[in-house]
Chain A
Amino acid sequence: MEVVTHTSNEEQTGPARELELYFGPQHVGMVGNFGIILTVEGDTVVRARSNPGYLHRGFEKLMECRTYIQNFPLVCRLNVMDPDPKEMIYAMAVEDLAGLAVPPRAHYIRTIVLEMSRIASHLFWLWGFGNMLGFDTIAQWAMGDREYFLDSFEMLCGGRVYHTYIWPGGVRRDLPEGFAEKLHHALGNLERMLPDYDDVFFNNRIFADRTRGIASFTRGQAVSMGLTGTNLRATGAKIDVRRDEPYAAYADLDFEIPTMDDGDSYSRAVVIRLEMAQSIAIIRQALERMPDGPAWAKTPNPFKWLVPPGETYVKIESARGEAGMYLVSDGSDKPRRAFVRGPSYPTAILTLEKLLEGTSLSDVGHIMLSLNIAAPEVDR
């Protein structure tokens, strides 16, 4: 293999001084079932090659062998940390192909669920990111505050991690009694905690010094590598599917799209932090404006549901960026082809390899986290 960006000359260093280090799923500092083959020279990473595949379950192929309703419990497994957007894109794709109209109440409930999922995912990220930088307190707090959202999820749909809640035609059950209070409690708790998060972490000089200027890229680079979501918004681009092509009830709600300009690890973290506050505001508005009526438009008999032939691509803004699904129907009871655009895919394969070159070995973990990579989305 040839060293691409390593600048020191071969006389002083040479291949003999390079060491291959496997940064795999068992490695301390690796979050998720993912691997990176690092070539290091001393503390400096010379080369990095992503090695996905640990979590490959063949979902896209599996979906071709299952009926439309049987796919619904499957798609949430595409991302453990942020399952609801995956349910949402599948539901939207099927609704688009089958011509199902979703009742307005379902749109609002879906919006709430998607934002809850975003918050839970961001808090989960904060746990990992804090840990990676040695900030144990913020990590524990984030995990603790996430529990309130998991409790809300459990009350809503009976599951804490895999919700199997958003399905074609709307949502699976209406909001249970007392749900709004429970969710308000979780939101209030997080809102109270956010200033403490800032004091302990985001406004802490050690954090800023550790992350500023690390693994930065420009907006142009981000676009050319196919980055979306917080990674793109950290380069100053105000791009968000919720605003640009609204789905669910986002068109009716007021919210801001936080951006940062530098495109480094610090900016990405701050964008995620600011998004949590926006999500709180979105959920509160949606709860307040929740219309009455049914929360599900009944779908046909699952054993005799033929979806008209056609193809569609739908996209939404998940916690990690644009999640999309390309679904083809041949008129039978199963999809002919399903393709999932996981926002972590370009991040983990293209961007990560580029960013790691020339960085310090001690930054590898936190760079990976700062890009908010989810291994199941890469493999699918």
Chain B
Amino acid sequence: MITEKKSIFRPFTALKYLFRKPHTFRFPFEQKPTAERCRGLHVNDRESCTGCGNCADICPNQAITMVEQPDVQAQPGKKNELPQVDYGRCCFCGLCVDICPPGSLSMAKDFIHIAPSPESFLAYVPDTEASGNEDFVPAAEYSIMKASLAHRLADNAGFTSEMDYSLVDFERVPMKTAPAEETRSSFVEIVKGFSEEEARREASRCLECGLCEDACPANMGISDYIRAIWKGDDAAAVRVFYEKNPLPSICGRICTHKCEEACGIGRRGQPVAIRWLKRFAADRVPAEALKQVLGAGPAQPRQKKVAIVGAGPAGLSCAYYLAVAGHPSTILEALPKPGGTMRYGIPEYRLPYRALDKDISYIQSVGVEIRCNTRVGVNITLDELHRDFDALFLATGFHVGRSTKVEGTDHDRVFQAIELLGDITEGKEVTVGKKIVVIGGGDVAMDIARSMARLQMKSYANVDITCCCLESEDIMPATREEIDEAREEGIAICTSRGPDRIEIDSGEIKGLHTVECTRVFDEQGRFNPKFNREDRRFFECDMVIEAIGQAPDLSYISKHLDEKLEKDGRRIKISEHFQSSVPWLFVGGDLIEGPDVVHAVANGYTAAKGIASFLENNS
């Protein structure tokens, strides 16, 4: 209490403290541990660090620089860079910890850093003499001397990343889908796409580290277009798409999204929905406006002509970039409509034809001629093409279904998935079985199973389809969502089953005998399945569909040309610009790499560059 009665004798009450030993006397040697959340020196877990550089971007003092590591191999989702902290600049605020998407960066409870060399304040990058090597020592051996030599106390994490308090938004904006009742019996597109507000919100999650761009086969400017979408400039986003990919509406729907697998946010949360954002921006710019958005048309037309075999993604992409460079090209397509596997292999509920037509018609509008119903080798030969054109690009893809060749596959109620999918696209009459077995566990198997499920719903209001594949659930090649959605639609998926024989009784298919598959790949990682013939299971059915993969059909290459082509195993050997050993012949798409759309697009882009420089050198 403060009183008005002041006295010079009052302070003498403090004499009682004379008889109490002070803290320093009572605990002379006890070390006071630092707090659990102490923000001391940085520790970076090299295993989980993606090298994304967000720590360097957010640091208010520019204390962090990303340093390339010669001994670290860059791979999708991981750069060969590590953060280096300059303790002359660091203010120990810990924003770097709170932005770290994989949570690899934390701050230790160590805070002593004394060293004779000023360069050692640049911590911690391995194996350079100038900077301190991180070296962790047990508590018993830890001392100020050790700390001064850039040793650190083992197991001493202080301020660590917490997902609830991270500056990263780990949750994706949910994607709306068409109601199940509607999609189960029709080929209506399942994914609805983002609304404008949703797209802007999703785009705002992107940290622009560029991990996705390194993983994208087409090396698209993903950070740039997501930024454009976030800013509301969809036209700018579309311009970025067309720099590397002339099929954005298609890739925005069915791309295998290597980018999302590499996304740094995906390490602990849900990656940015890069594919859906591309779809959003591509759909926002109507077909009529594309010309205006993408600016000036093709460059000065040149004389040399290019023929492209196959109007799939690789052929279309190559034709577009040749047209942009001024080289007129003609695509020869065997089927009635362009698009290749994208049209005849991918069901409409995943890729509606209007999206396909939009992208293809824009490519046609820049001066690409597409001749449909022209099968090379039948209607016209490669030699004839070589006579009329200056260069050729082969992108005929994998369009022949492989067969398991087990007993009974020659029956007329045993189908190839890829052929059936084509028939569905063309609107041909498909006789739908009441009980169907699909052999295969990849995306094509899921596509045909789900397409047949829709047709069964239409015909019988009931789904009875079994998918059996060699692989176990965890190594099934199909995309996770595809498997889950197939199950939701009533398709039974039986893993680790190999086909043994198809039972046929009086000309009718009765069912498929299967055996257990104990291993798919051998120690070297080669496809070499092993079966346990004791464990048998019989699947009753009246229709069998094989979907175990596709193969190319190169019968159109004449014998004398084939002899001139160098091979790399079974594939045609090519240069980095997809040029074969026959200079005027370029090869790309699934024939070389894939199989998926985005690899084909990337091949087409690079091949177009190669063809253009080939034509220029020959002129």
Query: B36 contacts which chain A residues (CB < 8 A)?
Result: 155, 176
Considering the complex, which residues of chain A in the window 73-99 have a beta carbon less than 8 Å from any beta carbon of chain B?
A: 73-74
The stretch among A17-25, A191-199, A228-236, A240-248 that forms the contact with chain B is A191-199
Chain A contacts for B94, CB-based, 8 A = 158, 164
27 CB < 8 A contacts A-B = A66-B60, A70-B60, A73-B91, A73-B93, A137-B14, A158-B37, A158-B39, A162-B92, A162-B93, A176-B37, A198-B1, A198-B10, A200-B10, A203-B2, A204-B8, A204-B11, A205-B10, A294-B164, A296-B164, A296-B165, A298-B169, A301-B207, A302-B58, A302-B167, A303-B58, A303-B208, A304-B230
How many angstroms between the C-alpha atoms of A9 and B223 in the bound complex? 77
User: Which residue of chain A lies nearest to B5 when distances are taken between CB atoms in the complex?
Assistant: A203
List of B residues within 8 angstroms of A158 by Cβ = 35, 37-39, 94, 107, 158-159
* A362 adjacent to chain B (CB < 8 Å): no
Q: Quick check: A203 and B10 within 8 Å, CB to CB?
A: yes
A151 to B1, CA, bound (A): 27
A273 B2 Cβ-Cβ under 8 A:
yes
Q: Does A172 sit within 8 A of B, measured CB to CB?
A: yes
Docked Cα-Cα span, A274 to B61, in Å, equals: 40
B13 touches A303 (CB 8 A): no
Contact A69 B2 (CB under 8 A): no
Q: Which of B1, B95, B164, B227 contacts A69 (CB 8 A)?
A: B95
Q: Which residue of A lies closest to B200 (CB)?
A: A304
B225 to chain A, nearest CB (A): 14
**A173 CB within 8 Å of chain B:** yes
Contact with A along B274-303 (1 / 0, CB 8 A): 000000000000000000000000000000
Q: Which residues of B contact A207 (CB under 8 A)?
A: 6
Chain A at the B interface: SS class: helix
When C-beta atoms are compared, the residue in chain B nearest to A77 turns out to be B91
Given A73-B93, A173-B162, A199-B13; A301-B167 close (CB under 8 Å)? yes
- Knowing A154-B35, A195-B1, A303-B207 touch, does A204 contact B169 (C-beta < 8 A)? no
Smallest CB-CB separation from B98: which chain A residue? A172
Q: Give A residues with C-beta under 8 Å from B.
A: 66, 69-74, 137, 144, 151, 154-159, 162, 164, 172-174, 176, 195-196, 198-209, 270, 273-274, 294, 296, 298-304
Taking the closest CB of chain B, its distance from the CB of A241, in whole angstroms, is 24
Minimal Cβ-Cβ distance residue in A for B201: A300
Task: Please give, as numbers and ranges, the residues of chain A lying within 8 Å of B99 by CB-CB distance.
Answer: 302
Q: Contact: A74 with B204, CB < 8 Å? A: no
Cβ of B168 and Cβ of A301 under 8 Å apart? Answer: yes
B3 in the interface, Cβ–Cβ < 8 Å?
yes
Cα of A296 to Cα of B207 in the assembled complex, Å: 21
A residues near B93, Cβ cutoff 8 Å: 72-73, 162, 164
**Pairwise interchain contact B37-A304, C-beta atoms closer than 8 A:** no
Instruction: Tell me the bound Cα distance from A225 to B324 in angstroms.
Output: 72
Q: Which single member of B37, B167, B207 contacts A173 (CB below 8 Å)?
A: B37
Residues in chain B near residue A151, CB distance under 8 A? 35
Q: How close is B31's CB to chain A, nearest CB, in angstroms?
A: 14
Query: How many angstroms from the CA of A157 to the CA of B98 in the assembled complex?
Result: 13
Inter-chain contacts of A270 with B (CB < 8 A): 2
Task: Give Cα A50 to B35, complex, Å.
Answer: 41
- Contacting pair B58 A199 (CB below 8 A): no
Q: Which 5 A-B residue pairs are closest in the complex by CB-CB distance? A: A73-B93, A158-B37, A205-B6, A70-B60, A158-B39
The verdict on B524 contacting chain A, using a C-beta distance below 8 Å, is: no
* Chain A residues within 8 Å of B370, by CB: none
Q: How far is the CA of A195 from the CA of B546 in the complex (A)?
A: 90
Q: Taking the complex as formed, is B206 at the interface, i.e. its CB lies under 8 A from any CB of chain A?
A: yes
- Within the complex, the shortest CB–CB distance from A212 to chain B, in Å, comes to 9
User: Cβ of A73: which chain B residues have Cβ within 8 Å of it?
Assistant: 60, 91, 93, 95
Whole-angstrom distance between the Cβ of A34 and the nearest chain B Cβ? 23
Contacts of A156 in B (CB 8 A): 37
Query: Do residues A205 and B167 form an inter-chain contact, with CB atoms below 8 A?
Result: no
Q: A195-B1, A196-B14, A203-B2 are in contact. List 8 more A-B contacts (CB 8 A).
A: A74-B60, A158-B158, A174-B165, A176-B36, A198-B10, A204-B10, A274-B2, A294-B164
Quick one: closest A residue to B60, CB to CB? A70
Contacts of A159 in B (CB 8 A): 39, 92
Note all chain B residues with C-beta closer than 8 A to A202.
Answer: 2
| B contact residues, range | 35 or more
Per-residue CB contact flags for chain B residues 226-268 toward chain A (1 = under 8 Å, else 0) read: 0100100000000000000000000000000000000000000
Q: Contact between A155 and B37 (Cβ–Cβ < 8 Å)?
A: yes
Q: Does B73 contact A (CB under 8 A)?
A: no
Q: How far is the CB of A93 from chain B (nearest CB, A)?
A: 18
Q: Residues of B contacting A174 with CB < 8 Å?
A: 165
B7 at the interface (CB under 8 A from A): yes
The distance in angstroms between the C-alpha atoms of A299 and B99, with both chains bound, is 12
Question: Cα distance A274–B3 when bound, in Å?
Answer: 12
Interface residue ranges of B1-45 to A (CB < 8 Å): 1-3, 5-8, 10-11, 13-14, 23, 34-39
Residue of A nearest to B205 (CB): A301
Distance of A162 Cα from B39 Cα, bound (Å): 11
* Residue of B whose beta carbon sits closest to that of A164: B93
* Interface core residue of B11, B98, B107 (most chain A CB under 10 Å): B11
Is B419 an interface residue, CB under 8 A from the partner?
no
**Distance (Å) between the CB of A65 and the closest chain B CB?**
10
Give the shortest distance, in Å, between A85 (CB) and chain B (any CB).
18
Interface centre among B60, B99, B162 (most CB of A within 10 A): B60
Q: Give the complex CA separation of A155 and B99 in angstroms.
A: 21
Write the chain A residue with the least CB distance to B168.
A301
**Which residues on the A side are within 8 Å of B57 (C-beta)?**
303
Known: A196-B14, A205-B6. A154 touches B208 (CB 8 A): no
- Docked complex Cα distance between A281 and B107 (Å): 34
B168:A199 contact, CB within 8 angstroms: no
- CB of B43, distance to nearest CB on chain A (Å): 14
> Chain A residues with Cβ under 8 A from B8's Cβ?
204-206
Which of B3, B39, B168, B230 touches A203 (beta carbons < 8 Å)?
A: B3
User: With the chains together, A296 CA to B164 CA distance in Å?
Assistant: 9
Which chain A positions have C-beta within 8 A of B39?
A: 157-159
Contacts of B167 in A (CB 8 A): 69, 299, 301-302
CA distance A307 to B172 in the complex (A): 22
Q: How far is the CA of A70 from the CA of B95 in the complex (A)?
A: 8
A301 in contact with B206 given A155-B37, A176-B37 (CB within 8 Å)? yes
Chain B residues 97 to 118 lying within 8 A of chain A, measured CB to CB, are 98-99, 107
Residues of chain A contacted by B37 (CB below 8 angstroms): 154-158, 173, 176
Question: From A207, which residue of chain B is reached at the shortest CB distance?
Answer: B6
Whether B107 pairs with A173 at a CB distance below 8 angstroms is no
Instruction: Choose among A71, A137, A203 the residue that contacts B7 (Cβ–Cβ < 8 A).
Output: A203
Minimum distance in angstroms from A259 CB to a CB of chain B: 13
Contact of A204 among B7, B159, B205, B207 (CB under 8 A): B7
Shortest Cβ distance from residue B159 to the other chain A in the assembled complex, whole angstroms: 5
Complex interface: chain A residues within 8 A of B91 (CB): 73, 162
- Report the separation of the CA atoms of residues A202 and B14 in the bound assembly, to the nearest whole angstrom: 13
Residues of chain B contacted by A74 (CB below 8 angstroms)? 60
User: B181-222, CB under 8 A of A: which get 1 and which 0?
Assistant: 000000000000000000000011111100000000000000
Query: With A173-B162, A176-B37 known to touch, is A200 a contact of B6 (CB < 8 Å)?
Result: no
Instruction: Please state if A300 and B34 are interface contacts (CB–CB under 8 Å).
Output: no
A302 vs B57: C-alpha distance when bound (angstroms): 10
Please determine whether A200 and B14 come into contact, CB atoms closer than 8 angstroms.
yes
Question: Which B residue's beta carbon lies closest to that of A302?
Answer: B167
Contacts of A70 in B (CB 8 A): 58, 60, 95
Contacts of B2 in A (CB 8 A): 198, 202-203, 270, 273-274
Interface centre among A72, A157, A198, A203 (most CB of B within 10 A): A203
CB distance from A126 to the nearest CB of B (A): 14
Residue from the list B13, B14, B34 in contact with A154, Cβ < 8 A: B34
Kindly list chain B residues whose C-beta atoms are within 8 Å of the C-beta of A204. 6-8, 10-11
Query: In the complex, are the beta carbons of B14 and A203 less than 8 A apart?
Result: no
- Shortest A262–chain B CB gap in Å is 12
Interchain CB contact (< 8 A) of B206 among A195, A200, A299, A304 = A304
Q: List, in ascending order, chain A residues with CB within 8 A of B203's CB.
A: 304
> Which chain B residues lie closer than 8 Å to A303 at the CB level?
57-58, 207-208
